Amino acid sequence: MLSEKELSILSIRNLNIWYGEKQILNSLSFEVQQKQVTAFIGPANCGKSTLVRCLNRLNDFIPNFRSTGEILFNGIHLGASTDTTALRKQIGMVFRKPIPFRCSIYENVAYGARISGINQSAHLDTVVEENLRKVGLWNEVENILDETPKQLSIGHQQLLCIARALAVEPEILIFDEPCGELDPIETVKIETLVRELKNDCTLIFATNKRRQAARVSDIAGFLYCGELIEFGATEKIFTNPQDNRTEQYVTGRLG
Amino acid sequence: MNSMTTRAERKQKIVLQSIAFIILGIAFVGLWHELKDARATGGQPASEAILLSALSSLLNNLYIVLSMSLVAILFGIACAFYLEEWLPATNWIRRLIENLIAILTGIPSIAYGILAILIFFSYADTLKEAIEAFPLSENIEAIPSQIETTVFYAEALTFILMVMPLAIKKTQEALRSVATPIREAAYVLGASQWQVLTRQVVPIAFNRILAGGCRSMSRAFAMAALLVGIYTWHYTTEPGGMSGRFILFLSVALVLSIFSSTLIWVHGPDSAQHS
């Protein structure tokens, strides 16, 4: 038990979230373990995106967003005084829809290094090659690094976005339904990649595909109507759920 | 909820447009009276003539119109950035300014031209007395140039009042056209607000901001053309009645307007959304 506590990188305690008057999340508490894949499953509009966007403070841009409770990252409380720019360098994110920037493939991957003020081309070259290799895209784009990412397939664009996020060297990488727009073959690539990335950083994975969560995650949480119904080892959630609603969801009778 | 807000917005828009049209009506009636009186007395008081000729000679200068509107536009763009990117949407100052902008952009440039003339007409004597009472103006020869300076400032203010709101509105629209996901994609890589603005938002919105600037400048030239036109029509006995300047300014306004539309058209109305 003690060793588990030591490995916990994110602790969420009693988190409540409102958009205006509407409560989206209702007193969530859980711990995210280091170097593990934590997946959140649940039907559409159950608050998965809201939850993961909370962790890197992306909800701050929403005008009537309000939250109570505690989020501890490496034991440090994320409050109003947190430096969100530094925080987001440590907690990266990949969205449902790949959003490559309008610059070249090279500049896309080098973006994180450039904004940190690194401009030596030798260093940038290594960063770009290393991260493109990591996502398995280097062979495809090696000769078209100076061209726009628009010509890549949507799956390759998503891989590029993952490479771009990895180039910042985050401690935690959040995937918000990364395969929502991809075909099955590209989905398999991303899932394999997620399993591999586990060795480098902690991963949080939000998805509404239960089988995908079962394939990629070590720990899973079932969200339903803004409540965390069940949270624990993926195997246990899928084979021996404690809550009736979880069982109904994983067997496909709910949501 | 959504349809409710749009209905409220539509109502607000109608009110603002009506205010703009009432101002336009007042301007036309006022101008009509002024010109009728001037014609009836068979000439013009000396001060008015000096003022109008000062005004006209100022506006006759292409570079002055150009530089005045350029300053107003650049200032407007800066204002728009501040309003859109730094002030929250619920801030009362921002809402007040946005409502004022909605009124000011609703007024056609012809109304501004007429209002400017009206103000110069009405205050011509006061202005002259004020300048004469000024200690430096003891030397009588200095008066016309001082009037010119006053007219210059008054005209600059009119330009700012006319050009800046449009520049602010167009820039705000351009900034809003940059989709939120693009900003978020940069934020999650740890970019600061300034970096997101300079690396993502401005490159995407640049064409639209440029188009907005051209549209605003076109408005300035349209007003200048109008003032020059009225002056020529009223105070000179030139055959034809239209000066070359009038035509020049009008064509510049037209070209700028077409250029700005083309910019938007070439790059697509929502190209920014998809990139």
Model pLDDT, residue B24: 74
* Nearest partner of B181 among B87, B85, B272, B77, judged by Cα: B272
Highest mean pLDDT among B55-69, B120-134, B176-190: B176-190
Model pLDDT, residue B169: 92
Model pLDDT, residue B235: 62
Q: Region A139-153: what's the mean pLDDT?
A: 89
Model pLDDT, residue B143: 53
* Nearest partner of A165 among A141, A200, A217, judged by Cα: A200
Residue B2 located in a structural domain? no
- Please report, for residues A128, B24, B77, the alpha-carbon distance to residue B258 in angstroms, rounded to integers and kept in the order given: 43, 25, 21
Model pLDDT, residue A165: 92
Q: What is the DSSP letter of B84?
A: I
Contact A89 B189 (CB under 8 A): yes
Task: Name residues 14-43 of chain A within 8 A of B (Cβ).
Answer: none
Instruction: Using pLDDT thresholds of 50, 70 and 90, give the confidence band for residue B36.
Output: low
Model pLDDT, residue B76: 92
pLDDT at B171 over 90: yes
* Nearest partner of B269 among B215, B214, B207, judged by Cα: B207
Residue B106 located in a structural domain? yes
| CA B168 – CA B4 distance, rounded (Å) | 26
Alpha helices in chain B (DSSP H): 2-40, 46-59, 62-81, 92-106, 109-122, 124-133, 143-176, 180-187, 193-196, 202-235, 244-267, 271-274
Domain range holding A210? 34-61+81-250
Model pLDDT, residue B272: 45
Which range among A21-25, A85-89, A197-201, B270-274 shows the weakest confidence by mean pLDDT?
B270-274
Pick A115's closest partner by Cβ from B180, B185, B190.
B190
Q: Specify the 3-state DSSP secondary structure of B127.
A: helix
Report how many domains make up chain B. 1
And the tokens for B119?
């103000």
pLDDT: is B270 or A9 the higher one? A9
Instruction: Using pLDDT thresholds of 50, 70 and 90, give the confidence band for residue B210.
Output: very high
Model pLDDT, residue B167: 92
Contact predicate B169/B101, CB 8 Å: yes
Contact predicate B106/B16, CB 8 Å: yes
Which range among A120-124, A193-197, B66-70, B154-158 shows the weakest confidence by mean pLDDT?
B154-158
pLDDT at A156 over 80: yes
Residues 6 or more apart whose CB falls under 8 angstroms from that of A23 comprise: A16, A17, A226
Residue B1 located in a structural domain? no
- Which amino acid type is present at position B194? W
Model pLDDT, residue B274: 45
Model pLDDT, residue B49: 61
| CA A177 – CA A155 distance, rounded (Å) | 13
pLDDT: is A184 or B129 the higher one? A184
Q: Specify the 3-state DSSP secondary structure of B151.
A: helix
Model pLDDT, residue B105: 85
Give B-chain residues touching A165 at CB under 8 angstroms: 188-189
Tell me, what CATH number does A174's domain have? 3.40.50.300
Residue B68 located in a structural domain? yes
Mean pLDDT, chain A, whole residue set: 88
Report how many domains make up chain A. 1
Contact predicate B78/B168, CB 8 Å: no
Model pLDDT, residue B214: 92
Model pLDDT, residue A2: 44
| CA B57 – CA B231 distance, rounded (Å) | 10
Domain range holding B62? 8-274
Residue A160, chain B, CB below 8 Å: the answer is no
Q: What percent of chain A has pLDDT over 70?
A: 97
Mean pLDDT, chain B, whole residue set: 75
Residue A229 located in a structural domain? yes
Please state whether the predicted TM-score (pTM) of the whole model is above 0.80.
Answer: no
Pick B185's closest partner by Cβ from A63, A85, A99.
A99
- H/E stretch holding A206 reads strand A202-206
Q: Region A1-29: what's the mean pLDDT?
A: 80
Give B-chain residues touching A178 at CB under 8 angstroms: none
Residue B4, chain A, CB below 8 Å: the answer is no
Residues 6 or more apart whose CB falls under 8 angstroms from that of A241 comprise: A222, A230, A247, A250
Contact B184 A58 (CB under 8 A): yes
